[in-house]
Amino acid sequence: MAGLIGMYAAITGIFLRESPLLVPALACGMVCTACGLLVALAWPDELALFFLAQPLVFTSWEIGPIVSLFLEIGVLVLFLAAQGYLATPGDIPSLGFFFLLLGGLVLFLMTSRHVAIPLAITASTAGLAALVILGIASLLVTRVAGGSHGETKER
Amino acid sequence: MKATPRSAGLFLASLLLFLFSWLFDSLPALFLAGTAAGLLLLCAARFTLSIRVAGATLHVSRTAAPFILKQGGLVAVTSRVILALPPGLSARVSDIPPPGAPVVKGSPHSPLLSAGTHEIELSYAISCLSSGQLSFWGVDLTLCNGLFSLTLPFRGKDFKGPTLCVDPVGRYRSSTGPGVFGEREVESRQVFRGYGIRSFREYLPGDDTRSIDWKLSAKHGKLYIREYAGLAGKSPLLVVDLPDGAVSCPENLRDAVIGAALDVSREMCRSPRGCSLMVISGANLLSYLPDERSFARVEKVLREFHSPRRVIQCYRTLDPAIAESFRQRIEGEGEGDTFSLGLREIYSRFIPAIEPLPFEVQCARALSRRSDVVLHVLTTGTGDPSHLVLLGLQARRRGIEAYLGIPETAGTASLAGRLTGMGYSGVKVIG
């Protein structure tokens, strides 16, 4: 993941060479790469490296939102693989669906001039999804507390 | 579902990015916020699916020995747990002992298990401080990944067995002899058919040939017979008086009586005469087991009537003989007094109309079954003692010795004094 951060710093440096954002992007890339190396060597933590890659994804938005999307997908794939979320082939469809949603979000943001409407839609969708997941978990806890597997319905 | 510091950090980052994008109208910040929130939800959804899979594979088989024991006894528990964990998930299994039974040895918790199939054994010991039927509480399965943790409380019947039968502690003993009710070994010319051998002597004509000791006879070339020793004493009839279940009674009193009854009846069932048990609650005969040899049956009866409901309630019930003595005392004391005259009149009309209670008839039948009976009544000493008085009088009329056992904590010295005069030869304390 630290190598990926360095690569992202180089990509943003190359593509933003004629932009006024070159100096801040290079500074950000250097800092993030240094921190990434430090974390990877001293205290390897995938979530910390995921956070360190985010400023580079942020600056790559200036190159193009699609570039940002692909860079973010790269970070996510590495992070989820490190967490053991790509251990079985059954995980790929759910991950594909998640990346499709991200693509849809990028397309929606590209067509928007202000954040108000996309922000409202994204936040409310995330809130609803969180409620559904918590509801399913709560139902699961209630079922096992009330009886053994599959007995709750019979009772 | 509980969040770990990592998931809390991800949530906080997402929230800050949402705020940043709103304050600075930044689309890339909103994209990053959406990504962080989506990642958190994806991990949560994946975790929920994983715990469903892991929970469905949990199987627990538990053994406990001994499962019938006395209050305060130790039980060795072995739980065999089979669990398959999907990748990315770790778990800890905790066996939950019955309430009132703390763990005194070993640990009911498993080490942290990583992904894969596991078959583990949890061995620990519990001390049963509560009495009655104790079931295990179940099993807790705590699952976690890097971002979330959740405890699944398995409380179904498949996870509660086996049930422990814990007898309350109580002791009712006589100090006069080694037997349960003070029977002692005696030497007399009477022929005993016991288990102990007192001595050997040469065979005399008329001796029972079944008593010949063939081994000794073969050794010495003469016939020798065994002289037996046996327990001499009267046949005890144990009466257990349980308090009314509808009226509050301290649990320690009830447990002390039942514990003492179980303790005594266990030994009585082993004796050649068996255990004669009468379970009453006030003036209600609940069960009568004459000469019972199965302790399981005795135990079942005592557990079944642990908290009985009294159909017949007695309050200062008078026996005709006692009422007659009261009437005669009034006649002798208050001559010419209108109150005494009125009271005497009431007694005179009242006494012929007194009919014996069904309880008295039942007691009379139980006591007249054998001639050599000694009565032992275990009671909590709570509530009205009329039924104890009636029982004591029935015993006295038949010349039967009667003893009363009251828990030490009941502290009813006056009751003991009153009942001693009502046919009971002595009052013993249940420890």
Residue-wise pLDDT for A71-108, tens only, equals 889 989 988 888 877 777 878 888 899 899 999 999 99
B158 with A148: CB under 8 angstroms? yes
Residue A44 inside a domain? The answer is yes
Instruction: Say whether residue B116 is in contact with chain A using an 8 A CB cutoff.
Output: no
- A76 CB neighbours in chain B (<8 A) are 35, 39
Q: Is residue A132 pLDDT above 90, yes or no?
A: yes
The yes or no reply on domain B58-167 and CATH 2.60.40.10 is: yes
Name the residue of chain B whose CA is nearest to A86's CA: B87
Q: How many domains does chain A have?
A: 1
Which residue shows structure tokens 């509530």?
Answer: B383
Q: Who among B26, B39, B154 is closest to A115 (CB)? A: B26
Instruction: Say whether residue A86 is in contact with chain B using an 8 A CB cutoff.
Output: no
The domain spans of chain B are 2-55, 58-167, 186-232, 235-317+357-430
Q: How far apart are CA A71 and CA A67, in angstroms?
A: 6
**Cis, peptide link before residue B162, omega less than 30° from 0:** yes
Give the mean pLDDT per block of 10 residues along chain B (431 residues).
Answer: 86 91 89 91 89 88 86 88 87 89 88 89 88 86 88 86 81 58 56 68 85 90 82 77 84 83 84 84 89 86 84 83 82 74 85 86 86 85 85 86 81 67 76 68
CB neighbour burial string for B256-290, b if at least 16 within 10 angstroms, e if fewer: bbbbbbbbbbeebbebebbbbbbbbbbbbbbbbbe
ipTM tops the 0.90 cut: no
* Inter-chain touch B41–A129, beta carbons under 8 Å: yes
Which residue shows structure tokens 């510091």?
Answer: B5
* Inter-chain touch B157–A115, beta carbons under 8 Å: no
Residue A125 inside a domain? The answer is no
Q: Who among A72, A119, A148 is closest to B35 (CB)? A: A72
- B149 CB neighbours in chain A (<8 A) are none
B21 with A119: CB under 8 angstroms? yes
Question: How high is the pLDDT of residue A155?
Answer: 36
A143 with A152: CB under 8 angstroms? yes
Domain B235-317+357-430 belongs to what topology? Rossmann fold (3.40.50)
- A58 CB neighbours in chain B (<8 A) are 28-29, 32
Residue A115 inside a domain? The answer is no
Chain A: give the shortest CA distance to residue B74, in Å.
28
Residue A122 inside a domain? The answer is no
Instruction: Say whether residue B39 is in contact with chain A using an 8 A CB cutoff.
Output: yes
Q: Of the ranges A6-20, A128-142, B129-143, B243-257, which one carries the lowest mean pLDDT score?
A: A6-20
* Inter-chain touch A144–B45, beta carbons under 8 Å: no
> Which range marks the domain in which residue A46 is found?
2-88
pTM of the model: 0.60
Q: Residue B381: name the closest of B193, B254, B276 by CA.
A: B254
Q: How far apart are CA B423 and CA B404, in angstroms?
A: 10
Residue A141 inside a domain? The answer is no
pLDDT one-digit tens code per residue, B279-299 = 999 888 898 988 888 888 888
Residue A129 inside a domain? The answer is no
B391 with B362: CB under 8 angstroms? no
